Structure 1
Amino acid sequence: MVVLGRIAGPHGIRGQIKVIPFTEYVDGLMEYPVWCLSRDEKNWQIVRPATFFIHDNLLIVTLTEYSDRTSASELKGLLVAVPRSQLPPLSKDGEDGYYWTDLIGISVVNMQGEPLGTVAGLFETGANDVLRVRLSGSSKDELIPFVDQVIRQVDLESRQITVDWELGY
């Protein structure tokens, strides 16, 4: 399974939920007719999204299996995933790549090998994508442009991104 979002909580009284997507586009999760929900990434529950709209960069979704606020509120904190086999190919030309979700939780170090933190999320600015890095030992985030001049290496196997970056740039 590939985690593509997290349920933030209920929305309204008709069983809608707020979903924080980990996809490039806010509505990217809606391309999948079946979602899998889990707290522990071991026990998965299958659900089907029925309707949605976007509000403040969140997906507001109605699941066919839930129709009231009480049952929807029990979903808060659950991860939303799809089978990796459902994802489209990374590139048309056969080059290696990665999904944003593959980068969440990876450690980030600078060129001197100093740990900066872990990837807490990514977002698009129009000009380029940006890594949101949760600083080591802190609740603060550092925003690092996801551009070739800064991102020197993405090693999914060792779960590390090397950047040409110093804190406070």
Structure 2
Amino acid sequence: MLRVGRITGAHGLKGALRFRPDNPDSDTLEQVKRVFLKCDGEQREFRLAGMTPLNATTRRITLDGIADINAAEALKGAVVMLADEDVPPAKPREFYYYEAIGCEVFLTDGSRLGAIQEIFSNGAQDIWVVRDGEREVLVPVIEDVVKAIDLPARRVTIEPIPGLLD
């Protein structure tokens, strides 16, 4: 299962939900017909009936079977996930965050920096949190730094910019 966001509450009286995607720029949810919601340790499958943007960070979604505000409010805080087989293939020169987690990161001189443990966006670019024991380095995912990504080999090569490793 791939986490794609969470439900932040009801939207209106007829069961629509406020959905906050983990990656607001992604169109992945627009390409699927079903989602899974995990709430209070329970996971349920729903058919995605509709989705419209509310603002830059929130979408309004409707799910079959959720028809009133009480049912919608009961799902507040639920994690929204997709089944692996429903995830559309990444476009050329793109990848899903989960595919990079765990990749080993090496410098262009061949020395190992650590492994990608987390990924987040700072608004300007994605950031890899690379850890090796207690050491943590925040690597900006930009062309000046990232020189090669080999997902099948689980290996990334970077050229550190001044100050990156200090």
- Same fold, TM exceeding 0.5? yes
Q: Does 1:18 align with 2:13?
A: no
- How many residues of Structure 1 are paired with residues of Structure 2 in the alignment? 153
CA offset digits 1:84-133 (Å, max 9, x no partner): 26624755xxxxx66324435335635132237534235886xxxx3222
User: Which runs of no fewer than 5 residues in structure 1 stay unpaired?
Assistant: 92-96
Instruction: Output aligned runs, 1:44-59, within 5 Å.
Output: 45-54=44-53, 55-59=55-59
Please provide the CA RMSD for this pair. 4.0
Question: Match for 2:102 among 106, 118, 122?
Answer: 106
Give the conservation status (yes or no) of the 8 Å contact 2:19–2:61. yes
Question: Match for 1:153 among 122, 140, 148?
Answer: 148
**Per the alignment, do residues 143 and 114 of structure 1 end up closer, same or farther by CA in structure 2, a change over 3 Å counting?**
closer
Alpha-carbon distance in structure 2 between the residues aligned to 1:5 and 1:51: 16
Normalised by the length of structure 1, the TM-score is: 0.61
Per the alignment, residue 67 of structure 2 pairs with 67
Amino acid at match of 2:88: L
CA offset digits 1:20-79 (Å, max 9, x no partner): 1448x444311212223347xxx7532122232222233231222223444334352424
Instruction: Output aligned runs, 1:129-168, within 5 Å.
Output: 130-134=125-129, 136=131, 142=138, 144-147=140-143, 149-157=144-152, 159-165=154-160, 168=163
Q: Does 1:29 align with 2:25?
A: no
**Per the alignment, do residues 32 and 104 of structure 1 end up closer, same or farther by CA in structure 2, a change over 3 Å counting?**
same
Give the conservation status (yes or no) of the 8 Å contact 2:7–2:80. no
Q: Runs ≥4 in structure 1, deviation > 6 angstroms?
A: none
Alpha-carbon distance in structure 2 between the residues aligned to 1:121 and 1:104: 12
Give the conservation status (yes or no) of the 8 Å contact 2:35–2:45. yes
Per the alignment, residue 94 of structure 1 pairs with none
Normalised by the length of structure 2, the TM-score is: 0.62
User: Which runs of no fewer than 5 residues in structure 2 stay unpaired?
Assistant: none
**Per the alignment, do residues 48 and 62 of structure 1 end up closer, same or farther by CA in structure 2, a change over 3 Å counting?**
same
Alpha-carbon distance in structure 1 between the residues aligned to 2:88 and 2:11: 31
**Per the alignment, do residues 166 and 17 of structure 1 end up closer, same or farther by CA in structure 2, a change over 3 Å counting?**
same
Indicate the structure (1 or 2) with the bigger Cα radius of gyration: 2
Give the conservation status (yes or no) of the 8 Å contact 1:121–1:131. yes
